[in-house]
Every structure is written in structure tokens, then in C-alpha cells.
Amino acid sequence: MAKQDIAAIWHDIERWLARHAPDRKAELNDGADDAALAALAKLVGHDLPADYAASLRLHNGTANLTSYIYNDTVSVAARWEARKPLENDKRTIHDPDAGIIKPRWWSPAWLPFAEDSEGNLLCLDLDPAPKGKVGQVLIWEMSMGPGLAGFGSFGDWLADYRDGLKGGRFVVDDSGYIYEK
């Protein structure tokens, strides 16, 4: 996909949230500063993808966007540190995405930007296998390990979310939470 205009995508999301899920809009934090972004990049040992950094500069996480919570930089760092010991895990990965994702249970080059209530993660792959793309989105499930989420970048994921909101793929329940139909 083409380079995404993260500010325009967030503007569309904010408008939709204001109209349909104002409590979720109120959850959005202000943006992270450059020091917070630099600290996160230093912790994981990789530059943050430009689209993801642009998003964090606008909204530093904590919103229930669907069944996943968009994490702030502090939560991303905590999730990453909690899973770092898993990099030596020897569990077998049945890798249907051979050559795109490195066949490991966990990699410290996976940046967990969103988490569901079961501890499953959406991650940015900062060190993919040769056929992969830096910044591709992975889903890491507690019982299954890593797999492709179907998005080549954070911007693609965020644009798909925006398009799903605008296209009616997501609805708001009586409690004000957003879920996919």
C-alpha cells in the first residue's frame, strides 16, 4: 500500500468516535513526546517505523479501539519487557508464513502496540525474515505464537480500522465499546 497520512486517518477516526463512541474518543491520550519515542526505540534496539511514531505523536495509546487496546509507550515497553525472556523459548512454530516471519516463539524485534484481554498482541515486526517487510503487522497469540495479521505496516492497519469504522464493519454496543460485526 502507499504511504499513509496518519494525521488524516486519525482525524477521520476521531470524528467517527466523537459521533458514535464518545467515551472511546475520550480515552485517547495526547501525543507522546520525542523523549518517550527515543526511549522506546532505545529499549527495543530498533528505530520505530515512521508511521507508528507519527501515530504516537498524535495519540499515545490507551484507547479501546476494538477488542484490542492501543497501547501507550509505557505499556508497549512493559509488554515488550515481560516477553523478552521468551526469546529463548524453544517451542516449535508451525510456520505457514515461512520466509516472512522469523520462525521463533518470540522476538525482541516485535513491538507490541496493541493487546486484547487474553494477552494476545498485535506487533510491529522490526526484524522480519528475508521475504518480510520491516514494520509488517503480526498477531502473537498466547497459545499459537506469531502469525501475519495481513497488514504491511502500522499505517495500513490504522487505515483499515478507519475504513472499517466508516464502512460499518464495526458497531458500538450498549456500553459504548466497539466490536467487529
Asked whether the whole model's pTM tops 0.75, one would answer yes
Look at residue 65 in the predicted model and tell me its pLDDT: 82
The answer to whether position 148 is within a domain reads: yes
The CATH number of residue 106's host domain is: 3.40.1580.10
The answer to whether position 16 is within a domain reads: no
DSSP-based three-state secondary structure for 168: coil
Q: What's the full length of the chain, in residues?
A: 181
Residues of the chain with pLDDT under 50: 1
The answer to whether position 41 is within a domain reads: yes
The total domain count for the chain is 1
pLDDT tens digits, 102-123: 888 899 999 999 999 899 999 9
Look at residue 62 in the predicted model and tell me its pLDDT: 80
Crossing angle, helix 6-20 and helix 50-58, to 10 degrees? 40
The answer to whether position 93 is within a domain reads: yes
Cα dihedral across residues 96, 147, 165, 59: positive or negative: negative
Instruction: Determine phi and psi for 115, rounding to 5 degrees.
Output: -140, 140
Look at residue 66 in the predicted model and tell me its pLDDT: 83
The answer to whether position 1 is within a domain reads: no
The answer to whether position 18 is within a domain reads: no
8: Cβ–Cβ under 8 A, 6 or more apart, which residues? none
Which residues is 179 bridged to in the sheet? 171
The answer to whether position 111 is within a domain reads: yes
The answer to whether position 62 is within a domain reads: yes
Boundaries of domain holding 101? 24-180
C-alpha to C-alpha distance for 36 and 46, rounded to whole angstroms:
14
